[in-house]
Structure 1
Amino acid sequence: MFRLHSKHIYESLSKTTSFKYKCMSNFAKYAEHKDISKIRNIGISAHIDSGKTTLTERILYYTGRIEAMHEVKGKDNVGATMDSMELERQRGITIQSAATYTIWKDHNINIIDTPGHVDFTVEVERALRVLDGAVLVLCAVGGVQSQSLTVNRQMKRYNVPCLAFINKLDRLGANPNRVLSQMRSKMNHHAAFVQLPIGVESNCKGIIDLVAQKSIYFDGSFGEELRYDDIPKDMRTESDERRHELIEHLSNCDDTIGELYLEEKPISDSDIKAAIRRSCLKRAFTPVFVGTALKNKGVQPLLDGVLDYLPNPGEVTNFALKEKEGEEPQKINLDPTRSGEKPFVSLAFKLEAGRFGQLTYMRCYQGMLRKGDSIFNMRTQKKVRIARLIRLHSNNMEDVNEVYAGDIFALFGVDCASGDTFTTDLKLDLSLESIFVPEPVVSMAINPTNPKDRDNFSKAVARFTKEDPTFRFFFDDDSKETVVSGMGELHLEIYAQRMEREYGCPVTLGKPKVAFRETLVSPCEFDYLHKKQSGGAGQYAKVIGVLEPLPANKNTTLEFSDETVGTNVPKQFVPGVKRGYLAMAEKGLLAGQKLAGLKMRLIDGAHHIVDSSELAFFLAAQGAIKQTFENGSWHILEPIMSVEVTAPEEFQGAVIAQLNKRQGIINSTEGTEGWFTIYAEVPLNEMFGYAGELRSSTQGKGEFTMEYSRYSPCLPAVQEKLIAEYEKSTGVAPEKDKKKRRN
């Protein structure tokens, strides 16, 4: 691991003075404290294989951060800078988000390159939580794909302004106009071109800047020399039309340029730029840039767009919550100025096991932090002294002496969880809004191949579950299996490979288990008395109420409502009823799955002046749920996935037949230039093994992606099978289950 923190280390790295001075000048340049207006925190996000990492590699090269560019797949045995993990270079995919920072035109740009695969969606979630802006990369051939929509939803969740970059103009079938229309129809973006390509596919020569009305060509061996020229004659008409379209779209979302447009006054380049910036910061407009990162075209103008149109940390409103018991949390606006007068406030958004202990990625929202200062974890109230402050360039670390509001940095040796808030003043009692973590959808049995490796296995699991909140680990008492849960088969497969590579612990993964849920078909009343007397104080509790199903849009949640009046159920015992209900929800009696989509309404009950306790009501609530299993009508819910399949047109019939066979519902189809895309909804339980089947039936040309959509009732045959398996594993007599199957 490469650390730059003293002159002596530079001297030991090379015998040549030129290298030493170059390193020292670079370090001084990157460590320089800049005004907040010259800081940008951006993320590069997109669908799988849209060119995010390649684009980041070009950005680092053109800004002088790296001396040579390398391919993502690592054919030259080097690989892209941001794909530092060996597994990423072999597979050619990004698995972990990686942070870096660079300088462009005297502006410091912090960049986080995120994965595109839906299995690693939490990496995108936590990156967007701490970023001020983003670049949404779209493939000129694939257009707006399923993960593009997911990333778009995540940007909306955290209110992150973005630029769009239509990449891969050099590919056969590139059509930026189709991508723009998809952005408007599928993503509901108020979007317009700010650039036009001069030719596509093999004729991609350069781009036209519609704001400055100039053409830009990228000369030199690696497109590093920009040559500005007049717009080609054959493209002037299209250029004028697209510029007029840009002004029209801006006039719809910006009042200033709208007035100029309606009054037919001349609109200058600076007016357009200012309007794009204002509307982009409000997320009312998305400027669309074009280029091809692999062929080194369009990257430098995109960097200019990041500086011109995306916000600096001072232009983004960030707030912390101050909670008081019995009151609504109070929102406190954080001060982003870099004076260092206000108390330090930061959020830990990513954890990673480093060579020197736990590496904690943080974003500073207020104040400043120096090496040697002490900070407090607001969740645990523990005090931590900062021995090292680090800024990251992929897997390389560079020590700094202080960080300010708006900076993304890392600390060593801080014991915390992802989403913890840190401050220098414990009296502030502030907490920053945490990160949204999606629920895992696939579970698999896991065991070390060699029983002697159990220690390493435990270390690996402890590390990975701490780093990744979507990777869960538990022991199933019923099946006596160790089970891991994650966002997909690839997600779990990657962690299995990492255990072998990083901990020398080969593991065996069992057949994936799907997270089914149990719920009621219709409301069911309960009236249950728990009574136990065995000498001395006994147990007495009675609960009366209704267990009812929630609407379809809430069928993954559990609710509890205390509707008691009077003192039949004393208020101090109500939490015991709720705990008993939630404890029973961990495992249903129909097929051993968790309960979901239910609301327990406690309406009445009874208590005894001596024998009643919270434990008695806890047990009464459990008995009431068991009673509803006997009297109510229950069914099983299964996760339904949104599936997107792309393949050549000649295989369309075979692909549709496969999806129908897997109980899929086709929502829509789309065709373009010899390829088709099918959008369908398929039960997750039917999707295992689909990758191999699709490849074999489309001669290896078909691709598919899927992501969780919702829970829905499963087919009767599936339900019967699950119940039979549960009976077999638990030894429940079939006659006891007759009432449970009333559907």
Structure 2
Amino acid sequence: MKDIRNIAIVAHVDHGKTTMIDQMLRQSGTIQAHREMAERAMDSNQLEQERGITIVSKCTAVIYKGTEINIVDTPGHADFGGEVERVLKMVDSVLLVVDAFEGPMPQTKFVLRRSLALGHQPIVVINKIDRPNARPDEVLDEVFDLFVDLGANDDQLEFPVVYASGRDGYAMLDPNEESDDMTPLFDAILREIKPPGDDPEAPLKMQVATLNYDDYMGRVAIGRVFAGRMRVGDKVVLVRRDGTKSNAKITKLFSFVGLEKVETEMIEAGDLCAVTGMDDILPGETICDPDHPVSMDMIEIGEPTLSMILMVNTSPFAGQEGKFLTSRQIRERLDRELEHNVALRVEDTDRPEAFKVSGRGELHLSVLLEQMRREGFEMQVSQPEVIVRVDENGKKTEPLEEVVIEAPSEYAGTVIRKMQERKGEMTHMMQNSDGTQRVEFLIPSRALIGYRTEFLTDTRGAGIMHTNFHSYGEYRGDIERRRGGAMVALEQGATTAYSLFSLQDRGTMFVGPGETVYGGQVIGENNRENELVINPTKGKKLSNMRSSGTDEALTLAPPVRFSLEKAIEFISEDEYVEITPESIRLRKSVLHHGKRKASSR
């Protein structure tokens, strides 16, 4: 058998997991020194590169002192926690990466809780010790307290610690030592993590953790062989989620080396691999020996907390920019997404053109919508709503978020007041060494919808907010969201600078001059709470007494442009976001002003 170590790198978002993997690939010699390698090479998805975050878990492997170290890079954002939950069962331990200044954050707690429950013995990596305000000793104490709070056993509390700078590519066992490479981290992995104890002579058993799709090979299942051997051409049995069984044949096998999958003839117990030949396989299902078709325990995935209605685009501009417009095409795309996005749920509604899509959070859902619009889909979505449950005592409960906010001290008072107005409960407060304040809250998930933009305004862009799902708690009553009303276009036409200039004192505009709008489109936010129907297409009446050239130049404030996430956050319950490959527009669900007025009565 090969000498193998299987590890996952887990951490809160932006604590340096993917950058650290870059250094491990380079310094192990897996990626040759002369070969060009993009920064954060594991983030190969276009959306990942643009946003600077990991969205999908990926496997790689490095060879160090004759040992193959299989590494799984995991997302650090709470909305993609489903990806983390799937892959933790594939590995024997984790590298828990913690920022040397920020310390443990909400997602750190989430991934550590899952890892400890599986019996892993984590290696703690205190990263970014090169930061000028790093506080590695205090962060180590905070990590130890977190292990205690999560019920770690005595062995897990004796965790090894490595200090590192993933960006500069060095690691050490003592922050006062000097080092110029990652050797201490590699040695710690070989020393502290046990090789897999899986039996290659037992009947085959492989569990699928994640899926890829290849245009030539079809569906590619990625997972770990927990027992036996798997060879190309073997006949196997696939045991499904519902307990049914079907016969299949292994057509291709791949192991991981660096950034590539390498075709191989055989995989033994304890190794991670990719396999083709099963076009209808799903995550969590088991590939077995035909004579011993016994399923492994299914991978438990947390339930969604947020839902929205996704519909066919019905605006007057529908069909002008996209290729895929019908409910059948949208449903087929959602079904394909369900095959690998296990934290997503899709349900039919009483309307054939609308579907209820549920996920872990706004980012989880908006990434799906962004991928669809780039593929040529047109659609519209409703305001997100939290998924409310009723407990065994008949009480209504709702999802609560754990929120960590770091902001300059002069803005902390405003932030605390806003959070309390949104039914937030302060759980912890401390002064950081750099003059900022760190405040922690427990707050309903729905209270955070639409708050991020307001938070950045309140802190002049200097605040940082991290969230993670905490639990379901008692429903906390009504929460006021958007304060301003909508400015809604009266009729279709091109906007004029003359009209926008006269309207801009009424509120904030979302469109500039010369843009085509339609009746019922939301083109601004009113300073007051009421809806304001306006005509942005009105032009100046010219006569022989005056002309457009005789007036002074009009000065317009630049319009506010929405990203997809901000648009979804902004809309009210009677509004939709229209999403096309080229445009993001806000609109009323009922476009005609008269009908809207009648229904409100």
Same fold (TM over 0.5): yes
**Given the alignment of the two structures, is residue 707 of structure 1 paired with residue 468 of structure 2, yes or no?**
yes
**Alpha-carbon offset, residue 715 of structure 1:** 4.0
Report the structure number with the largest CA radius of gyration: 1
Question: 2:228 aligns to what?
Answer: 367
Give 1:118 deviation, angstroms: 0.6
Aligned pair partner of 1:696 in 448, 457, 482: 457
Alignment of 1:277-676 (within 5 A): 282-298=155-171, 299-314=182-197, 336-338=198-200, 341-355=201-215, 356-379=217-240, 380-393=244-257, 396-414=260-278, 415-426=280-291, 428-449=292-313, 450=318, 452-454=324-326, 455-477=328-350, 481-501=354-374, 503-518=375-390, 555=391, 597=392, 635-673=395-433, 674-676=435-437
| Cα distance per residue 1:679-730 (max 9 Å; x no partner) | 11111121111111111111112121222222233245579xxxx99xxx9x
Whether 1:167 aligns to 2:127 is yes
Matches within 5 A, 1:161-240: 161-188=121-148
Candidates 27, 35, 44, aligned match of 2:9: 44
CA 405–689 in structure 1, closer or farther in 2 if over 3 Å, else same:
same
Specify the alignment match of 1:569 in structure 2: none
Q: Deviations over 1:277-333 (max 9, x none)?
A: xxxxx434111110101012112210110001111102xxxxxxxxxxxxxxxxxxx
Is the Cα–Cα contact under 8 Å of residues 422 and 479 in structure 2 kept in the other structure? no
- My pick for the range that moved more, 87-96 or 668-677, is 668-677
Inter-CA distance 479–659: structure 2 relative to 1 (3 Å threshold): farther
Partner of 2:541: none
TM-score (normalizing by structure 1): 0.58
Change (3 A) 1:480 1:383: closer
Superimposed CA distance per residue, residues 85-130 of structure 1 (whole angstroms, 9 cap, x where no aligned partner): 0110111100001101110011011110000001000111111111
In structure 2, the residue corresponding to 1:169 is in which secondary structure? coil
- Whether the 8 Å CA contact 1:125–1:154 is kept in 2: the answer is yes
Distance (Å, rounded) in 2 between the aligned partners of 1:693 and 1:716: 21
The alpha-carbon deviation at position 52 of structure 1 amounts to 0.1
Contact 1:184 1:190 in 2 (8 A): no
Structure 1 residue 456, shift from structure 2 partner = 4.2
Work out whether 1:84 is the aligned partner of 2:44: yes
Task: Please point out which of 83, 90, 114 is paired with 1:123.
Answer: 83
Q: Distance in 1 between matches of 2:47 and 2:33?
A: 21
Distance 1:78 1:635, change over 3 A: same
Question: Are residues 717 and 692 of structure 1, via their aligned partners in 2, closer, same or farther at CA, if it must alter by over 3 Å?
Answer: closer
C-alpha displacement of 1:156:
1.3
- How far apart are residue 65 of structure 1 and its match? 1.7
Q: TM-score, normalised by structure 2?
A: 0.72
Residues 688 and 155 (structure 1 numbering): CA distance in 2 closer, same or farther, change over 3 Å? Answer: same
Give the C-alpha shift of residue 162 in structure 1.
Answer: 1.1
Partner SS, residue 5 of structure 2: strand
For 1:506 and 1:644, the matched residues in 2 are separated by: 36
Question: Would you say 1:680 and 2:541 are equivalent positions?
Answer: no
CA 1:407–1:337: 2 relative to 1, 3 Å: same
2:19 and 2:378 map into 1 onto residues whose CA distance is 32
Highest RCO, 1 vs 2 (Cα 8 Å, sep ≥ 6)? 2
1:59 correspondence with 2:33: no
Task: Supply the AA of the counterpart residue of 2:210.
Answer: K
CA contact (8 A) 2:312 2:354 kept: no
Give the match for residue 545 of structure 2.
none
RMSD: 2.7
Q: Distance in 2 between matches of 1:422 and 1:287?
A: 35
Any idea what the Cα deviations from partners look like across 1:360-397, whole Å, max 9, x if unmatched?
A: 11210111011111110123311111110012357632
Aligned to 1:279: none
Q: Deviations over 1:331-370 (max 9, x none)?
A: xxxxx234xx321111111122222311111210111011
Q: Distance in 2 between matches of 1:78 and 1:472?
A: 34
Query: What letter is aligned with 2:406?
Result: T
Instruction: For structure 1, list consecutive stretches of 5 or more residues without a partner in the other structure.
Output: 1-33, 71-75, 192-251, 254-281, 315-335, 519-554, 556-596, 599-633, 730-743
> What's the CA shift for 1:475?
2.2
8 Å contact from structure 1 (residues 442, 513) kept in 2 = yes
Task: Give, in whole Å, the separation in 2 of the partners of 1:635 and 1:119.
Answer: 26
- 8 Å CA contact retained: 1:139, 1:167: yes
Structure with higher helix content: 1
Paired residue secondary structure (2:120): coil
**Contact 2:444 2:476 (C-alpha < 8 Å) held by counterparts:** no
- 1:97 is aligned to 2:81: no
Mapped contact 2:343–2:360 kept (Cα < 8 A) = yes
How many Å separate the matches in 2 of 1:517 and 1:305? 45
Verify the 8 A CA contact 1:45 1:134 in the aligned structure 2.
Answer: yes
Residue by residue over 1:146-189, the C-alpha shift from the partner in whole angstroms, topping out at 9 and shown as x without a partner, is 11111110101211121011000111310100111101223328
- Measured against aligned partners, the alpha-carbon deviations of 1:393-422 in whole angstroms (never above 9, x if no partner) come to 576321000000001001123122211111
1:165 and 1:392, CA in 2 relative to 1: closer, same or farther beyond 3 A? same
What is the distance in 2 between the residues matched to 1:112 and 1:637? 35
Distance in 2, Cα, partners of 1:711 & 1:699: 32
Aligned partners of 1:476 and 1:372: how far apart in 2? 44
Q: Which residue is equivalent to 1:594?
A: none
